[in-house]
Amino acid sequence: MDGLVVALINGLKRSKNFSNLPMPLLQDLRLAIVEGIGNAMRHGGCNPKRPCRVSLKAEPKKLIVRIEDRGLGFNLNSALKKRPQDEAVSGRGLWILKNLMDKVVYRKGRPNVLELTRKLSRPKNLDAAIELFDLLHRSIQQLRPKKYLYEQFIEFMTGLFNVERASFLMFDRETQTLKVATSRGITPKIARKVSIAPGEGIAGYVFKTSRPMLVHHLSKMKKGSPKPRKKGYRSSSFVSVPVVASPFHIGEETIGVLNLTDKRDGSRFTQGEVKLLNLMAGQAASAFRIRDLLDTVRSHESLNKEFEIVQEIQNRLVPQDFPKIGDLDIAGACKLSNRGGGDYYDAVKVQQSMRGVLADVSGHHVGSAITMASFRAIFRSLVIDPNNPGELIRVLRWAMHQDLLKLHQFISCWTFEYHSGGMMRMSGAGHPPVFILRAKSKKWESIESQHLPLGLEDDSEPHISKVQLDRKDWLFFYTDGLFDPRMRATGFDKYKFYEIVESNSHLKSQEMVQKIIEEVTPHQMSIKSPDDIAILAFRRGS
Amino acid sequence: MKVNAKEIAGIVIVEVEGEIDAEHAPNLKRCLQKARESAEKGMVLDLKKVSFIDSTGLGVLISLMRQLKEQDRELRLLGLQDEVRSIFEITRLYKVFSLCESLETAVQEIKTIKG
């Protein structure tokens, strides 16, 4: 019997989407199935003429095991009423099942069916990162001072990594040195004296280069490596990561450095932990950034300034440049309306590809802009890991869900991944379709989004659309403000857009987006309370 | 934008007329919150006379849907005009809302579920 169960589990492990399930979960599953089958065989009268049937169904968020038998059946609730005596010879199987699985259901019938469900949790790394971001974000919403956020940050990291010593150093523009903003395990007297120039020591080096550093033997560092400023660390393992609101320092300023050392269990930091630290330091930097932006908002008392504030937020967060991938020419434009705030696009280089997003936060004004800033932070922290744009939408949905629920907002978006040679993969969540103009045939194509907007639960399998862009083909992502139905009355609609693109298809992408904005603006001005417009234009081989 | 509400046997029928955009959404939200108080079984939103809805408006509807769901009450939408229906299709929200063709159908469905 165990051989059968092992075969089931191995089949699961070989499948593409479930090959990384943690061993403890697989072991639990194996035991639960064994107990379930054992129960069916003992009490369900299974024999070669009336075999038990076992199936394992793997869904994105859960695993479901069904065990069928044709015995007399039993009452599950009665069986689970009392915990088996410690000395009991038998009767433990169902209790074990109940404790290993998230849900156990038994239906009497022909056949009897025992159904076991085990939820699949997110990767622990993601959980920790999202937990930190949630913690900081709540404090931001409560308008806690920045110092409070710094304390929360270091307390969380010290606890998570179980270290005795930690310090968060921030760059002081006045003195042009790194100073301790908060620390653990370091006396205040010493902390006050710390003043590190960029490039000096490990922390200064990490700050200057924006690259994390893991040191195992402080005394055995290679010649030419940055020298530790002071000796006296109890353990030989020390990690320092930059605190920058983007994992690869993409147009972002490093605001400081986080140092951890002296793990309580005496173990060393691993590369995996450095990666997690890097991610979480990025989350924290984004949160601190959002807190700064809120201060900007609060300092403007007049409502008339709100538009300027939203514009300021958007200018800071929407990229001006894009990564260079092969012969792709890409440009974007955002046109805020007077009630605007929630449109956003972004693109980062990940290995040899470009990954990006175009999103629209529901609602308007500063509230949407702040949510957009949060979304950007989450996107930039999580963009590297997922295997494809569909998976990226899934993790973004997980990460943003609680906040969107609380704020009664939702986000529609497209995520995409572009490779040199013109291959584009994309996944859409409740967003208007993508438009493509083929240079050879001069025909338009569109791709519909398949998922629900973020802020709503969507358990469907990630859906990925693939497009091969040939030379001089155009592809457009945009927000729904571009095709506000009220603009049809003045003559702007999808067909007008097609006409504009076709007439200007020789332009570079930057010129094209400007042309579109120029053409749509009079129509936008003619309607009451127009929406924002954001456009991303891609063209190969310009 | 105009909002009219009437209650029949624990089901509140709310008729909305006009555009549900950022300007009018807060008012709609207030009206729906008030209507929800007497909606023991559920609510029907008659959107026949709604000519336009934007994301803020959709947010109000989603918020209402969640609140009713938490209270184990039903929600039905009816009478989506082409423009509004198109938004529901683009955002895939037709999957989460129960859309009905007529008031009679909507009321009957709620009565069948809630008794």
Average pLDDT of span B95-107: 90
Asked if residue B40 lies in contact with residue A385, where contact means CB atoms within 8 angstroms, the answer is no
Nearest neighbour of B58 by CB, restricted to A339, A362, A429: A362
Asked if residue A417 lies in contact with residue A389, where contact means CB atoms within 8 angstroms, the answer is yes
Q: Which residues of B touch A363 (CB under 8 A)?
A: 22, 55-56, 59
Rounded Cα distance between A140 and A287, Å, is 8
* Distance (Å) from the alpha carbon of A322 to chain B's nearest alpha carbon: 28
State the pLDDT at residue A248: 45
- What DSSP state is assigned to residue A330? E
| Chain-chain contact of A452 with B52 (C-beta, under 8 angstroms) | no
Query: Is it the case that residue A150 has pLDDT exceeding 80?
Result: yes
Average pLDDT of span B27-36: 92
State the pLDDT at residue A523: 92
Q: Which residues of B touch A408 (CB under 8 A)?
A: 59-60, 62-63
State the pLDDT at residue A346: 92
What does R_g of chain B's alpha carbons equal in angstroms? 13
| Chain-chain contact of A452 with B91 (C-beta, under 8 angstroms) | yes
* Distance (Å) from the alpha carbon of A528 to chain B's nearest alpha carbon: 10
Of the listed ranges A97-106, A260-269, A300-309, the least confidently predicted one is: A300-309
Average pLDDT of span A153-159: 93
| Chain-chain contact of A410 with B59 (C-beta, under 8 angstroms) | yes
> How many C-beta atoms surround the C-beta of residue A217 within 10 A?
10
State the pLDDT at residue A378: 81
More confident residue, B104 or A253: B104
Query: Is it the case that residue A415 has pLDDT exceeding 90?
Result: yes
| Nearest residue in chain A measured CA to CA from B23 | A529
Nearest neighbour of A456 by CB, restricted to B22, B52, B96: B96
Nearest neighbour of B23 by CB, restricted to A430, A450, A529: A529
Q: Predicted confidence band at A121 (pLDDT cuts at 50, 70, 90)?
A: low
| Nearest residue in chain A measured CA to CA from B83 | A485
Token duo for residue A85 = 């005596």
Q: Predicted confidence band at A439 (pLDDT cuts at 50, 70, 90)?
A: very high
Of the listed ranges A381-385, A459-463, A492-496, the least confidently predicted one is: A381-385
Q: Predicted confidence band at A87 (pLDDT cuts at 50, 70, 90)?
A: very low
| Chain-chain contact of A431 with B21 (C-beta, under 8 angstroms) | no
| Chain-chain contact of A431 with B91 (C-beta, under 8 angstroms) | yes
Nearest neighbour of B92 by CB, restricted to A360, A405, A452: A452
Q: Which residues of B touch A532 (CB under 8 A)?
A: none
Q: Which residues of B touch A453 (CB under 8 A)?
A: 91-93
Nearest neighbour of B56 by CB, restricted to A363, A431, A450: A363
Q: Predicted confidence band at A109 (pLDDT cuts at 50, 70, 90)?
A: confident
Q: Predicted confidence band at A300 (pLDDT cuts at 50, 70, 90)?
A: low
Average pLDDT of span A92-119: 80
Q: Predicted confidence band at A249 (pLDDT cuts at 50, 70, 90)?
A: very low
Global pTM reads 0.66
Query: Is it the case that residue A179 has pLDDT exceeding 90?
Result: yes
Average pLDDT of span A413-435: 95
| Chain-chain contact of B90 with A431 (C-beta, under 8 angstroms) | yes
State the pLDDT at residue A425: 95
Could you write out the DSSP letters of every residue in A233-244?
-SSS-EEEEEEE
State the pLDDT at residue B53: 85
| Chain-chain contact of A362 with B21 (C-beta, under 8 angstroms) | no
State the pLDDT at residue A512: 97
State the pLDDT at residue A510: 95
Closest-CA residue to A306 (of A334, A333, A340): A340
| Chain-chain contact of B52 with A455 (C-beta, under 8 angstroms) | no
Asked if residue B15 lies in contact with residue B3, where contact means CB atoms within 8 angstroms, the answer is yes
State the pLDDT at residue B94: 86
Q: Which residues of B touch A427 (CB under 8 A)?
A: none
| Nearest residue in chain A measured CA to CA from B29 | A408
Helix (H, G, I), strand (E, B) or coil at A229: coil
Q: Which residues of A touch B92 (CB under 8 A)?
A: 429-430, 449-453
Answer positive or negative: Cα dihedral of A477, A482, A485, A490: negative
Percent of chain A with pLDDT over 90: 35
Closest-CA residue to A250 (of A129, A383, A394, A400): A383
Which of the listed ranges A180-184, A249-253, A401-405, A529-533 does the model predict with the highest average pLDDT? Answer: A180-184
More confident residue, B1 or A10: B1
More confident residue, A252 or A192: A192
Of the listed ranges A367-371, A375-379, A394-398, A486-490, the least confidently predicted one is: A367-371
Of the listed ranges A4-8, A238-242, A439-443, A453-457, the least confidently predicted one is: A4-8
β pairing state of A238-244 and A213-215: antiparallel
Entry field: residues in chain A? 542
Query: Is it the case that residue A231 has pLDDT exceeding 60?
Result: no
Q: Which residues of A touch B55 (CB under 8 A)?
A: 342, 360-363, 410, 412, 480, 531
Query: Is it the case that residue A83 has pLDDT exceeding 60?
Result: no
The mean predicted confidence, pLDDT, of chain A is 82
Q: Interface pTM (ipTM) of the complex?
A: 0.72
Query: Is it the case that residue A281 has pLDDT exceeding 50?
Result: yes
> pLDDT tens-digit profile of A499-509?
999 999 999 99
Query: Is it the case that residue A28 has pLDDT exceeding 50?
Result: yes
More confident residue, A371 or A116: A116
Asked if residue B88 lies in contact with residue B79, where contact means CB atoms within 8 angstroms, the answer is no
Domains and CATH numbers, chain B: 2-114 (3.30.750.24)
Entry field: residues in chain B? 115
| Chain-chain contact of A408 with B95 (C-beta, under 8 angstroms) | no
CA dist list (Å): A326 to A255, A414, A535: 32, 22, 21
State the pLDDT at residue A250: 45
More confident residue, A433 or A532: A433
State the pLDDT at residue A412: 94
Asked if residue A396 lies in contact with residue A325, where contact means CB atoms within 8 angstroms, the answer is no
Nearest neighbour of A529 by CB, restricted to B21, B62, B92: B21
Domains and CATH numbers, chain A: 2-119 (3.30.565.10), 124-284 (3.30.450.40), 317-540 (3.60.40.10)
* Distance (Å) from the alpha carbon of B22 to chain A's nearest alpha carbon: 7
Q: Which residues sit opposite A166 in a β-bridge? A: A184, A260
Rounded Cα distance between A317 and A453, Å, is 22
Token duo for residue A144 = 């806690």
Query: Is it the case that residue B51 has pLDDT exceeding 90?
Result: no
State the pLDDT at residue B41: 92
CA dist list (Å): A44 to A38, A39, A40, A53, A305: 9, 7, 4, 11, 73
State the pLDDT at residue A312: 67
| Chain-chain contact of A408 with B56 (C-beta, under 8 angstroms) | no
> pLDDT tens-digit profile of A463-477?
999 999 999 999 999
* Distance (Å) from the alpha carbon of A494 to chain B's nearest alpha carbon: 14
Could you write out the DSSP letters of every residue in A348-384?
EEETTEEEEEEEEESS-HHHHHHHHHHHHHHHHHHSS
| Chain-chain contact of A363 with B93 (C-beta, under 8 angstroms) | no
| Chain-chain contact of B59 with A362 (C-beta, under 8 angstroms) | yes
| Chain-chain contact of B90 with A409 (C-beta, under 8 angstroms) | no
State the pLDDT at residue A404: 85
More confident residue, A456 or A75: A456
